[in-house]
Amino acid sequence: MMMTPSETCPICGGTGWQTIERGKEREAVRCECRVRDRGERLLAAAHIPARYQHCELSNFQCDPDDKGQKSIRDARFLAGRFVEEYPTDKTGLLFVGSVGVGKTHLAVGIMKDLIREKGIHCLFCDYRELLKSIQNSYNPSVQATEMEILRPVFEAEVLVLDELGAVRSTEWVFDTVNYVLNSRYNDNKTTIITTNFPDKPEQDKAEIDNLSSRSAADRAARRETLGDRIGERMRSRLHEMCKKVEIDGLDFREHSKQAQFRRHESPSRVTLRSSKRGTP
């Protein structure tokens, strides 16, 4: 049998208790290995995908002088304040913004700090994968039941629901989102949401039908909204559950690639280029 680290702990010898002297009194306190183990257990149980393991609030970059990054700085500030105020304030967060602006990075950074600093039970949940596994559970050859898949999602103290709306909307999708969000709302549990869809109401269906007969450019100009994707009733419920944080910026990866490229250019090339293209 494998031994867990706490069983071989040199401080407590695996009991999980440590005796400390207080004047003449001796007192048993929880050994630090157990406190640390709890953090590690919670981190493992949070199911943060490998591609987001590096995300921390402390390595989230923002330029203090760039006027264009104000919403990114504000989002970083609100994420830090959320950690400080939880659980006194249990209102969730709704990160809204285009792809790559750092929404998931901030949500994961919050989870990690809540786990480390406050021992909170958090869970990361990808919206598409959640709906896929629920749908899968209806298949008779699959062992897990719908309830087995949903239980951890209902029970987590803080749930990160990533990419809300990323599945094409159907009655079933509406009902399922409704079920998940309403259950957490009724249990007074905190949900942190990210979405790439603009937080606007459901648009007129007649208008959409009408658009399908128009040019592709017309259709592209009319972007689908969060209301279209999860239904208007759920969108307004979200506003009761969460504080909205809108991030308006460029895809971080593109932006940092360009910055790297600029750094590597020799000064003469830069002069040449900027004289050709005019000053930015």
Ligand X SMILES: Nc1ncnc2c1ncn2[C@@H]1O[C@H](COP(=O)(O)OP(=O)(O)O)[C@@H](O)[C@H]1O
Q: Return residues touching ligand X (CB under 6 A).
A: 55, 60-62, 97, 99-105, 194, 252-253
Residue 270 contacts which entry, ligand X, Mg ion, Zn ion, none (Cβ below 5-8 A, type-dependent): none
Nearest to 227 by CA among 195, 205, 247, 199: 199
In the complex, the residues that contact Mg ion under the rule CB under 5 A are 104
| Residue 69 vs 104, nearer CB to Mg ion | 104
Residue 105 contacts which entry, Zn ion, Mg ion, ligand X, none (Cβ below 5-8 A, type-dependent): ligand X
Residue 55 contacts which entry, ligand X, Zn ion, Mg ion, none (Cβ below 5-8 A, type-dependent): ligand X
| Residue 92 vs 97, nearer CB to ligand X | 97
Q: From the CB of 101, what's the least distance to Mg ion, in Å?
A: 9
Q: Burial of 27 by CB count in 10 Å (0-12 exposed, 13-18 middle, 19+ buried)?
A: exposed
| Residue 33 vs 114, nearer CB to ligand X | 114
Q: From the CB of 31, what's the least distance to Zn ion, in Å?
A: 3
Q: From the CB of 194, what's the least distance to ligand X, in Å?
A: 6
Residue 11 contacts which entry, ligand X, Zn ion, Mg ion, none (Cβ below 5-8 A, type-dependent): Zn ion
Q: From the CB of 27, what's the least distance to Zn ion, in Å?
A: 16
Q: What does the buried/exposed string (b/e) look like for 241-255 if buried means 16 or more CB atoms within 10 Å of the residue's CB? A: bbeebebebeebeee
Q: From the CB of 257, what's the least distance to ligand X, in Å?
A: 11
Handedness of CA 134, 139, 144, 145 (dihedral sign): positive
| Residue 9 vs 107, nearer CB to ligand X | 107
Contact 100, 258 (CB under 8 A): no
Contact 160, 137 (CB under 8 A): no
CA distance 39 to 261: 40
Residue 92 contacts which entry, Mg ion, ligand X, Zn ion, none (Cβ below 5-8 A, type-dependent): none
Task: Give the containing element (helix H, strand E) for 224.
Answer: none
| Residue 4 vs 53, nearer CB to Mg ion | 53
In the complex, the residues that contact Zn ion under the rule CB under 5 A are 9, 11-12, 31, 33
User: Left (φ > 0), alpha (ψ -120 to 50) or beta: where does 163 sit?
Assistant: left
Residue 31 contacts which entry, ligand X, Zn ion, Mg ion, none (Cβ below 5-8 A, type-dependent): Zn ion
Residue 100 contacts which entry, Zn ion, Mg ion, ligand X, none (Cβ below 5-8 A, type-dependent): ligand X
* DSSP assignment letter at 17: E
Beta strands 17-22 and 25-30: pairing type? antiparallel
Q: From the CB of 113, what's the least distance to ligand X, in Å?
A: 15
CA distance 157 to 92: 11
DSSP secondary structure letters along 26-83: EEEEE-HHHHHHHHHHHHHHTT--GGGTT--STT----TT-GGGHHHHHHHHHHHHHH
| Residue 31 vs 82, nearer CB to Mg ion | 82
Residues 6+ apart with CB under 8 A from 16: 6, 30, 31, 33, 34
| Residue 31 vs 109, nearer CB to ligand X | 109
Q: From the CB of 46, what's the least distance to Zn ion, in Å?
A: 23
